[in-house]
Amino acid sequence: MAEVTYPCYWEKKDNSGQWYWIYYAKNGKAIARSSESYHNRSDCTHSIGLLQNSKDDPIFYTE
Protein backbone atom coordinates (compact mmCIF):
# COMPACT_ATOMS: atom_id res chain seq x y z
CA MET A 1 0.00 0.00 0.00
CA ALA A 2 1.24 3.50 -0.85
CA GLU A 3 2.17 5.95 1.89
CA VAL A 4 -0.69 8.34 2.63
CA THR A 5 0.00 11.99 1.86
CA TYR A 6 -2.18 14.96 2.72
CA PRO A 7 -4.39 16.56 1.55
CA CYS A 8 -6.28 13.53 0.24
CA TYR A 9 -9.60 11.76 -0.12
CA TRP A 10 -9.97 8.39 1.58
CA GLU A 11 -12.62 5.88 0.51
CA LYS A 12 -13.91 3.55 3.22
CA LYS A 13 -16.73 1.08 3.84
CA ASP A 14 -19.29 1.63 6.59
CA ASN A 15 -20.77 -1.10 8.82
CA SER A 16 -23.41 -1.94 6.20
CA GLY A 17 -20.76 -2.45 3.49
CA GLN A 18 -21.43 0.78 1.60
CA TRP A 19 -18.71 3.15 0.42
CA TYR A 20 -18.16 6.74 1.60
CA TRP A 21 -15.29 9.20 1.41
CA ILE A 22 -13.52 11.47 3.88
CA TYR A 23 -11.43 14.47 2.84
CA TYR A 24 -8.33 15.13 4.94
CA ALA A 25 -6.66 18.54 5.02
CA LYS A 26 -2.94 19.19 4.69
CA ASN A 27 -2.58 18.83 8.48
CA GLY A 28 -4.10 15.31 8.35
CA LYS A 29 -7.40 16.28 9.98
CA ALA A 30 -10.71 15.18 8.50
CA ILE A 31 -12.66 18.22 7.31
CA ALA A 32 -15.39 16.74 5.08
CA ARG A 33 -17.35 13.51 4.61
CA SER A 34 -19.65 12.40 1.83
CA SER A 35 -23.28 13.16 2.60
CA GLU A 36 -24.37 9.72 1.43
CA SER A 37 -23.01 6.20 1.12
CA TYR A 38 -22.69 4.30 -2.16
CA HIS A 39 -23.30 0.65 -3.06
CA ASN A 40 -20.48 0.76 -5.62
CA ARG A 41 -16.99 2.10 -5.01
CA SER A 42 -17.02 3.54 -8.54
CA ASP A 43 -19.97 5.76 -7.55
CA CYS A 44 -18.04 6.94 -4.49
CA THR A 45 -15.03 7.75 -6.68
CA HIS A 46 -17.30 9.56 -9.15
CA SER A 47 -18.64 11.82 -6.38
CA ILE A 48 -15.06 12.77 -5.46
CA GLY A 49 -14.45 13.69 -9.10
CA LEU A 50 -17.51 15.95 -9.07
CA LEU A 51 -16.06 17.88 -6.13
CA GLN A 52 -12.61 18.10 -7.65
CA ASN A 53 -14.09 19.54 -10.85
CA SER A 54 -16.22 22.15 -9.06
CA LYS A 55 -13.40 24.49 -8.00
CA ASP A 56 -14.56 27.22 -10.42
CA ASP A 57 -18.24 27.03 -9.46
CA PRO A 58 -19.71 30.19 -7.88
CA ILE A 59 -20.07 30.50 -4.11
CA PHE A 60 -23.28 32.02 -2.73
CA TYR A 61 -23.94 33.26 0.79
CA THR A 62 -26.58 34.97 2.88
CA GLU A 63 -26.05 37.33 5.79
pLDDT in tens, 5-50: 999 999 999 999 999 999 999 999 999 999 999 999 999 999 999 9
pTM of the shown model: 0.87
Question: Does residue 1 have a pLDDT over 80?
Answer: no
Q: How far apart are CA 48 and CA 10, in angstroms?
A: 10
Question: Does residue 57 have a pLDDT over 90?
Answer: yes
Q: How far apart are CA 21 and CA 9, in angstroms?
A: 6
The strand pairing partners of 38, in sequence order, are: 19
Q: Which of 38, 49, 32 is nearest to 13 (CA)?
A: 38
Q: How far apart are CA 39 and CA 61, in angstroms?
A: 33
Amino acid at residue number 15: N
pLDDT given at position 2: 80
